[in-house]
Structure 1
Amino acid sequence: MSQGLLFGPDDVPTAKPVGDAWQRMRVLITVKAAPNPSETYGETVCVAGIRLDLDSPGWVRLYPINFRELDSLHTFKKYDVVSLRAKPARGDFRTESWRPDITSVRTEDHLRSWKRRRAHVEPYVRDSMCAIREAVHTDPCAASLAAIRPHRVLGIDVKPHPGWSPEDQRKIDRHVSQPDLTGGDRIALQAPRFQGWYRYRCTPDCGGHRQGILDWEFVALQRTLGNRNDDDLVRELRSAYLDRMCAPHRDTVFYVGNQAKSPRTFSVLGVYWPER
């Protein structure tokens, strides 16, 4: 399997433009992270994808987005191709971070088959998570999003979620107590029952990585199976995220991203898993 370049011919994120003007972009959505409590929005989701603009290829992070408060016209899902306008996120030093105008989002297409997705994703796949972390250690503004094909997936750890911190719970409570402009009742964001981590080696010489799973679907599966007991639910999570997505006949790739407050800390934001 060929290894493509992460950000195009120069393998460097395109710098944010000067100024705060809105810009049009087309994006293939590849990442929809699990929601987290927000002071301003109650809850927010980080979305990321690959820009399909011919003059601005590369990764892009779109934040903040509150999916539960989007109307049907502006909602979208993974592997949708969307057009929207966005402006550089000046409060986030990471080069790929943009602030979307959610009212401008229009879905143009959905790439249903792995074959259609592969044409866009494969050129961005890398095989060294170690190199990505080292680059950020040298320059915090280096790539903060990547697609990593692991040399070997060692396993998955699933443990009970500790629940929201007192600060996060305060954010949720404050949001729920505010009146909803639509006249309905706001629903508090519930913490998932379990959290997970992938353990893997990115190359034969890698000492190993343990990265938290922040995929929206990891949390959504727990809610779908909310009536299962803990042991059954853990088995289902392992079955989906290890046995199925990381099976030997799958070409498993992890979408990873770092944290603004801790640039060297990367998490798994989603999994790309077509058949080999």
Structure 2
Amino acid sequence: MCVAALRIDPGTSGWIRLYPINFRALEDPQAFRKYEIITVEAKPATQDSRPESWRPNIGSLTRGRYLSTWEKRVPWISDYIEDSMCHLLQEVRENPAARSLAAIRPAEVDDLIIERHPGWTPEETAKIEAYVRQLDLFDQGPRRPLEAPRFKAWYRYRCHAPACPGHRQGLLDWEFVAHQRNMGNRDDAEICAELRKRWLEHMCGADRDTAFYVGNQAKRRHVFSVLGVFYPSRA
């Protein structure tokens, strides 16, 4: 999987994409959490021309301070939140090498569309199997291909651009997959209701200062997905 993060090196700041990271193979002390400060050696990706894309040396990873509350997280992230997804898309259309990661504050979140996952496409299957075969990346840990989740979802929202036509972006947050798997064999309707309750009503509620972490695809730079949700309480 890819991990989107913010660099805080002395003299360096901004978004970074770390790939590949096999979380199912990471054992403590390397199994870091979201909003944890880590140190890791990395070099620019050779097969991905997006400027934020770097290849990590997992063996060098060390864990640091965990930002356990929104109060501790907001100061690190607030300066990177923008209001216009439309502007970001225009940048990429004019220059494919433009920014590929951002945090966007929606003006209004209209819906969370949830559908049954049809299974991996042939292209996705080939990519997963190719990764599993790269045994030199990890000395131990699960190498079986990742199973497709039960459901997939898209956010429908408008950004703050005056003429925003609306955006429909897939939700690729690993926590969304983990949430539905943690509900086990409950029926589809019940799982969908719980997903909507958390990912729409709670995270995007009127009492939350919601922003979407978004990133694009290497092969289709104009296609952005929601990689995660930032949802501290409104002040």
Whether the aligned pair in 1 keeps the contact of 2:24 and 2:141 (CA below 8 Å) is no
CA–CA separation in structure 2 for the residues paired with 1:241 and 1:269: 13
Structure 2 residue aligned with 1:16? none
Deviations 1:87-123 (A, max 9, x none): 0112111111100001111111100111111001000
Deviation at 1:173, TM superposition (A): 6.3
Whether the aligned pair in 1 keeps the contact of 2:25 and 2:141 (CA below 8 Å) is no
For residue 81 of structure 2, what is the amino acid of its counterpart? V
Moved over 6 A (4+): 173-185
Normalising by the residue count of structure 1, what TM-score does the alignment of the two structures yield? Answer: 0.79
Structure 2 residue aligned with 1:143? 99
CA–CA separation in structure 2 for the residues paired with 1:145 and 1:178: 27
Deviations 1:65-102 (A, max 9, x none): 11111221222110000011100112111111100001
Query: Within 5 Å, which residues of 2 pair with 1:251-266?
Result: 251-266=209-224
Deviations 1:11-41 (A, max 9, x none): xxxxxxxxxxxxxxxxxxxxxxxxxxxxxxx
1:52 is aligned to 2:39: no
Whether the aligned pair in 1 keeps the contact of 2:156 and 2:168 (CA below 8 Å) is yes
For residue 268 of structure 1, what is the amino acid of its counterpart? V
CA–CA separation in structure 1 for the residues paired with 2:63 and 2:13: 19
Whether the aligned pair in 2 keeps the contact of 1:153 and 1:246 (CA below 8 Å) is yes
Of residues 51-60 and 266-275 in structure 1, the stretch that sits farther from structure 2 once superposed is: 51-60
Whether the aligned pair in 1 keeps the contact of 2:183 and 2:191 (CA below 8 Å) is yes
Structure 1 residue aligned with 2:150? 193
CA–CA separation in structure 1 for the residues paired with 2:53 and 2:141: 32
Whether the aligned pair in 2 keeps the contact of 1:74 and 1:104 (CA below 8 Å) is no
Deviation at 1:168, TM superposition (A): 3.8
Identity of aligned residues (%): 52
Structure 1 residue aligned with 2:32? 76
Structure 2 residue aligned with 1:40? none
Of residues 137-146 and 167-176 in structure 1, the stretch that sits farther from structure 2 once superposed is: 167-176
From 220, 225, 235, the equivalent of 1:267 is: 225
User: 1:135–1:186: structure 2 CA closer, same or farther, 3 Å change rule?
Assistant: closer
Query: Within 5 Å, which residues of 2 pair with 1:78-227?
Result: 78-169=34-125, 186-203=143-160, 204-227=162-185
CA–CA separation in structure 1 for the residues paired with 2:228 and 2:147: 21
For residue 160 of structure 1, what is the amino acid of its counterpart? R
Structure 2 residue aligned with 1:12? none
CA–CA separation in structure 2 for the residues paired with 1:56 and 1:141: 19
Question: Across the two proteins, how many residue pairs are aligned to each other?
Answer: 232
Structure 2 residue aligned with 1:249? 207
Q: Please, what is the CA RMSD of the aligned residues?
A: 2.2
Structure 1 residue aligned with 2:190? 232
Gaps of 5+ in 1: 1-44
CA–CA separation in structure 1 for the residues paired with 2:180 and 2:223: 25
User: 1:55–1:160: structure 2 CA closer, same or farther, 3 Å change rule?
Assistant: same
